[in-house]
Amino acid sequence: MTEANLQPENSVPLDAGVVRTDLPMADARRIRYYDTQGQVRTALDQRPADDQPPIGQMRLDLLTDEWIAIAAHRQGRIFLPPKELCPLCPTHGDLLSEIPDSDYEVVVFDNRFPSLKEPDPQWHLPENQGTDTQIPDAAGICEVVCFTSDHSTSFGQLEDHQMRTVMEAWRDRTRALSQKDFVEHIFPFENRGEEIGVTLAHPHGQIYAYSFLPPKPKKMLESATSYFEKYQRVLLDDVIARELRDEIRIVATNEHWIAYVPFAARYPFEIHVAPRVSVPDLATLSTEVADAFPAIAKEVLLRLDGVFGMPMAYIAAWHQAPVKIGRDVLRLHWQITSIRRAPGKLKYLAGSESAMGAFIMDMKPEQSAAQLREVVL
Amino acid sequence: MTEANLQPENSVPLDAGVVRTDLPMADARRIRYYDTQGQVRTALDQRPADDQPPIGQMRLDLLTDEWIAIAAHRQGRIFLPPKELCPLCPTHGDLLSEIPDSDYEVVVFDNRFPSLKEPDPQWHLPENQGTDTQIPDAAGICEVVCFTSDHSTSFGQLEDHQMRTVMEAWRDRTRALSQKDFVEHIFPFENRGEEIGVTLAHPHGQIYAYSFLPPKPKKMLESATSYFEKYQRVLLDDVIARELRDEIRIVATNEHWIAYVPFAARYPFEIHVAPRVSVPDLATLSTEVADAFPAIAKEVLLRLDGVFGMPMAYIAAWHQAPVKIGRDVLRLHWQITSIRRAPGKLKYLAGSESAMGAFIMDMKPEQSAAQLREVVL
A350: CATH: 3.30.428.10
Of the pLDDT bands very low, low, confident and very high (cuts 50, 70, 90), residue B77 is low
pLDDT for the residue numbered B8 = 57
Q: How far apart are CA A258 and CA A251, in angstroms?
A: 8
* pLDDT tens for chain A, residues 1 to 377: 344 444 456 899 999 999 999 999 999 899 999 999 999 999 999 999 888 888 999 999 999 999 999 987 765 666 678 888 899 999 998 889 999 999 999 999 999 989 999 999 999 999 999 999 999 999 999 999 999 999 999 999 999 999 999 999 999 999 999 999 999 999 999 999 877 778 789 999 999 999 999 999 999 999 999 999 999 999 999 999 999 999 999 999 999 999 999 999 999 999 999 999 999 999 999 999 999 999 999 999 999 999 999 999 999 999 999 999 999 999 999 999 998 877 877 777 789 999 999 999 989 999 999 999 999 98
Mean pLDDT of chain B: 93
Do B232 and B184 lie in one domain? The reply is: no
- Reported as a pLDDT band with limits 50, 70 and 90, residue B193 is confident
Q: Is B26 on the interface with A (CB under 8 A)?
A: no
Residue type at B60 in one-letter notation: L
Among the listed residues B204, B272, B319, B333, the single catalytic one is B204
Q: How far is CA B376 from CA A223, B160, B269, B302, in A?
A: 49, 20, 17, 9
Choose among A63, A219, A242: nearest Cβ to B64: A219
Q: At what angle do helices B293-307 and B365-374 cross, to 10 degrees?
A: 100
Q: Please indicate, yes or no, whether residues A200 and A253 belong to a single structural domain of this protein.
A: no
By CB atoms closer than 10 A (0-12, 13-18, 19+), residue B340 is: buried
Whether residue A53 is found in the same domain as residue A102: yes
In this complex, the residue of A218, A315, A359 whose CB is nearest that of residue B355 is: A315
For the stretch A74-109, what's the b/e string if a residue is b when 16 or more beta carbons lie within 10 angstroms of its beta carbon? Answer: beeeeeeeeeeebbbbbbeeeeebbbbbeebbbbbb
Predicted pLDDT of residue B255: 97
Q: Name residues 33-62 of chain B within 8 A of A (Cβ).
A: 59-62
Q: How many CB atoms lie within 10 A of CB A4?
A: 8
Task: With CB atoms and an 8 Å threshold, state whether A187 touches B217.
Answer: no
At B183, the amino acid letter reads V
Q: Mark whether A74 and A49 lie in a shared domain.
A: yes
Q: Is A206 on the interface with B (CB under 8 A)?
A: yes
Task: Calculate ∠ Cα A68-B327-B69, nearest 5°.
Answer: 65
* HSE value, Cβ hemisphere, 13 Å, CA-based, for B104: 32
pLDDT digits (tens, 9 = 90+) for B122-177: 999 999 999 999 999 999 999 999 999 999 999 999 999 999 999 999 999 999 99
| Of B130, B208, B361, Cβ closest to residue A69 | B361
> CB contact, 8 Å: B246 with chain A?
no
- Do both A245 and A225 map to the same domain? yes
In angstroms, the separation between the Cα of residue A248 and the nearest Cα of chain B is: 16
Query: Quick one: B15 and B158 in the same domain?
Result: yes
Residues B182 and B67 in one domain: yes
- Closest C-alpha to B117, from B143, B144, B142, B145: B142
Q: Are the Cβ atoms of A264 and B62 closer than 8 angstroms?
A: yes
pLDDT in tens, B204-218: 999 999 999 999 999
| HSE (side-chain half, CA atoms, 13 Å) at A323 | 22
Chain-centre distance for alpha carbon B123? 25
CB distance A197–B348 less than 8 Å?
yes
Which of A68, A235, A364 is most worth mutating to test chain B (most B CB atoms within 10 A of its CB)? A68
Of A151, A182, A212, which residue sits at a domain end? A212
> Whats the size of chain B, residue-wise?
377
Pick the last residue of a domain from B181, B212, B243.
B212
Q: By the CB < 8 Å criterion, does B337 face chain A?
A: yes
B288, B176: one domain:
no
Domain boundary among B194, B212, B230: B212
- C-beta atoms of B61 and A266 within 8 A: yes
Distances in Å between the alpha carbon of A355 and those of A96, A266, A315, A351, B189?
43, 15, 21, 5, 9
Nearest CB to A189: which of B208, B230, B355?
A: B355
Q: Give the ipTM of the model, two decimals please.
A: 0.94
Q: What ranges make up the beta strands (E) of chain B?
A: 11-13, 19-24, 30-35, 57-61, 66-70, 106-110, 140-146, 185-192, 204-210, 250-253, 257-260, 269-275, 314-319, 333-338, 340-342, 345-346, 360-361
CB A214, CB B42: distance < 8 Å: no
Bridging pattern class, strands B66-70 and A360-361: parallel
Chain A residues touching residue B365 (CB < 8 angstroms): 70
- Residue B230 belongs to what domain range? 217-374
Question: What residues in A contact B317, CB-CB < 8 Å?
Answer: 351, 354-356
Query: Is residue A271 domain-shared with residue A293, that is, in the same domain?
Result: yes
Contact B210 A356 (CB under 8 A): yes
- Is residue B1's pLDDT more than 50? no
* Residue A3, pLDDT score: 41
Q: At what angle do helices A293-307 and A365-374 cross, to 10 degrees?
A: 100
Q: Count the Cβ atoms, other than its own, within 10 Å of residue A234.
A: 17
pTM: 0.94
The residue of chain B nearest to residue A185, with distances taken between CA atoms, is B356
pLDDT of residue B3 exceeding 80, the answer is no
A residues 286-315 lying closer than 8 A (beta carbon) to B: 315
Report CA A221 to chain centroid distance, whole Å: 19
**Residue A312 carries which DSSP code?**
P
Cα dist from A57 to A36, A61, A71, A72, A190, whole Å? 39, 13, 7, 9, 24
Counted across chains A and B, CB pairs separated by less than 8 A come out at 256
Tell whether the model's pLDDT for residue B2 goes beyond 50. no
pLDDT given at position B93: 85
Chain A nearest-CA distance from B246, in A, is 11
| Mean pLDDT within B75-82 | 69
Quick one: angle between helices A293-307 and A160-178, nearest 10?
110
Give burial (CB, 10 Å; 0-12/13-18/19+) of B242: middle
Do residues B37 and B184 both lie within one domain?
A: yes
Considering the domain architecture, whether residues A242 and A284 belong to the same structural domain is answered as yes
Q: Round to whole Å and give the CA distance between B259 and B372.
A: 11
Neighbour tally for A212: CB within 10 Å: 21
Residue A275 CA to its chain's centroid (Å): 17
**Statement to judge: residues B276 and B297 lie in one domain:** yes
Smallest Cα distance from A85 to chain B, Å = 20
Q: What is the per-residue pLDDT for B349?
A: 78
A68 to B214: CB separation less than 8 angstroms, yes or no = no
Catalytic residue flag (residue A73): no
Q: Is the dihedral of CA B119, B122, B124, B126 positive or negative?
A: negative
Q: How many folded domains does chain A comprise?
A: 2
